[in-house]
């Protein structure tokens, strides 16, 4: 089980009342006691009442124990997930790197602090940021703080179905969003979500006319408008049909609304992801939090485990860990975590250099500068991509850095 899955299972349990610590057991016992007391005062046989009280308390105890078992197993799962993600002897690894110890020189420790404070700021954990500022000589730049706050505000608004702040941002950054390498689909998807939330088809169509016609060349706007008419028709038809059969209505209708709600949540999650990506691109922030990437590669990615295993198994043969230039074993990483430090042009088969850097074309394909220049021969202003039919004009091709 993943750490985050294990943690959210534990969180779900802690918010469920049946398992919260002293509450239910005390309440149950109080209940049973006052009940028994009342019965005895009313003149019932004390012996019978007490026996029943004992039984009732026993039952309550068992119920609470059952809840606790769930707790312990969820807690155990978190522990197991942590053990699985991190090598069991992290201490041995950090020892292997001693002499000199890790982050002992000033520059390295400053770099580490900077990465940590950046990560905290990016998540909007301002209390932790100020604690870091107090403990180190670093300050988190105020422009970054403003941006981070803005990002947090907009993404939480999207999650709670308020798309207006995101749309306002898109409007303010219109020029950026429509610039190369590609016009962003974000504003269209935001408008689409607003469109879908309008239950009156006439109102929805007015909305689409006003805000979405500019996306007709690149997005299926007209199809969307037509589908809204069709969707509403089928929905209405279904309601009348269900109305005739009461049993069916409760079952089916409930399922549908639940599915719709789940779909909405998923859509909002997608929109948050899209928005974050554009926001980071706009301000040239790394797409992912660098600290998160590093920890993920070391733990779940398995790099630390590999280092430790190699050190243990091959020991002396490999010399000191610090002198390794390559990892002695392969670390299988998920595709999203594979990075390339070099670029080889698929046309010329030459490795890119400072003088012949990689260039991304409008379609997203990447070739070396010289290969692109060759395509532009004869004074042409634009060239067709060697891999797809999309044309790229000379000024639009973007330099990439590896």
Residues that bind Zn ion (CB under 5 A): 363, 365, 385, 387-388
The answer to whether 268 touches 159, Cβ cutoff 8 Å, is yes
Smallest distance, Zn ion to C-beta of residue 363, A: 3
CB closer to Zn ion out of 10 and 383: 383
Q: Which residue is nearest to Zn ion (CB)?
A: 385
CB closer to Zn ion out of 7 and 363: 363
Helices (H) and strands (E) in the chain, counts: 16, 5
Q: Which residue has the tokens 């998920």?
A: 334
CB closer to Zn ion out of 249 and 347: 347
SS (H, E, C) 19-88: HCCCHHHHHHHHHHHHHHHHHHHCCCCHHHHHHHHHHHHHHHHHHHHHHHHHHHHHHHHHHHHHHHHCCC
CB closer to Zn ion out of 103 and 387: 387
Smallest distance, Zn ion to C-beta of residue 74, A: 49
The values of phi and psi at residue 384, to 5°, are -85, 140
The answer to whether 187 touches 179, Cβ cutoff 8 Å, is no
Count of C-beta atoms within a 10 Å radius of residue 313: 11
Smallest distance, Zn ion to C-beta of residue 273, A: 25
Smallest distance, Zn ion to C-beta of residue 365, A: 3
For 212, which DSSP code?
T
CB closer to Zn ion out of 174 and 182: 182
CB closer to Zn ion out of 111 and 400: 400
The answer to whether 392 touches 383, Cβ cutoff 8 Å, is yes
Q: Which residue has the tokens 């609470």?
A: 64
Smallest distance, Zn ion to C-beta of residue 375, A: 11
Angle, helices 201-211 vs 221-244, to 10°: value is: 170
Smallest distance, Zn ion to C-beta of residue 384, A: 8
Smallest distance, Zn ion to C-beta of residue 127, A: 48
Give the Cα separation of 229 and 236 in Å (integer): 11
CB closer to Zn ion out of 16 and 388: 388
């Amino acid at each position: 089980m993943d750490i985050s899955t294990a943690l959210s299972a534990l969180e779900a349990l802690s918010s469920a009342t049946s398992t919260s610590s002293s509450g239910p057991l005390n309440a149950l016992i109080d209940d049973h006691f006052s009940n028994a007391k009342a019965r005895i005062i009313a003149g019932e046989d004390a012996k019978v009442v007490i026996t029943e009280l004992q039984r009732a308390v026993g039952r309550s105890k068992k119920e609470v124990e059952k809840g606790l078992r769930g707790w312990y197993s969820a807690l155990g799962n978190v522990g197991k997930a942590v053990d699985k993600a991190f090598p069991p002897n992290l201490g041995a690894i950090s020892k292997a790197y001693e002499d000199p110890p890790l982050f002992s020189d000033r520059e390295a420790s400053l770099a580490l602090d900077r990465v940590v404070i950046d990560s905290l700021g990016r998540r909007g954990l301002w209390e932790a940021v100020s604690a870091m500022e107090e403990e180190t000589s670093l300050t988190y730049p105020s422009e970054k703080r403003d941006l981070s706050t803005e990002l947090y505000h907009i993404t939480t608004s999207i999650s709670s179905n308020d798309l207006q702040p995101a749309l306002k941002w898109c409007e303010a950054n219109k020029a950026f969003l429509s610039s190369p390498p590609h016009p962003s689909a974000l504003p269209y998807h935001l408008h689409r979500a607003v469109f879908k939330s309008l239950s009156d088809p006439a109102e929805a169509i007015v909305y689409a006319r006003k805000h979405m016609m500019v996306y007709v060349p690149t997005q299926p706007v007209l199809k969307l408008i037509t589908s809204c008419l069709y969707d509403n028709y089928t929905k209405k038809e279904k309601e009348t049909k269900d109305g005739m059969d009461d049993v069916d209505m409760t079952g089916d209708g409930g399922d549908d609304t639940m599915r719709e709600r789940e779909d909405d949540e998923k859509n909002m999650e997608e929109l948050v992801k899209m928005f974050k990506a554009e926001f980071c691109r706009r301000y040239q922030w790394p797409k992912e939090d660098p600290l998160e990437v590093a920890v993920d590669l070391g733990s779940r990615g398995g790099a630390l485990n590999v280092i430790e295993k190699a050190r243990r198994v091959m020991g002396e043969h490999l010399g000191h860990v610090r002198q390794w230039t390559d990892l002695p074993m392969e670390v299988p990483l998920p595709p999203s975590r594979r990075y390339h430090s070099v670029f080889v042009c698929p046309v010329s088969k030459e490795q890119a250099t400072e003088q012949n850097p990689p260039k991304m074309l409008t379609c997203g394909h990447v070739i070396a500068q010289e290969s692109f220049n060759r395509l532009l021969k004869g004074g042409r202003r634009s060239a067709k991509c060697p891999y797809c039919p999309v044309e790229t004009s000379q000024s639009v091709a973007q330099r990439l850095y590896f």
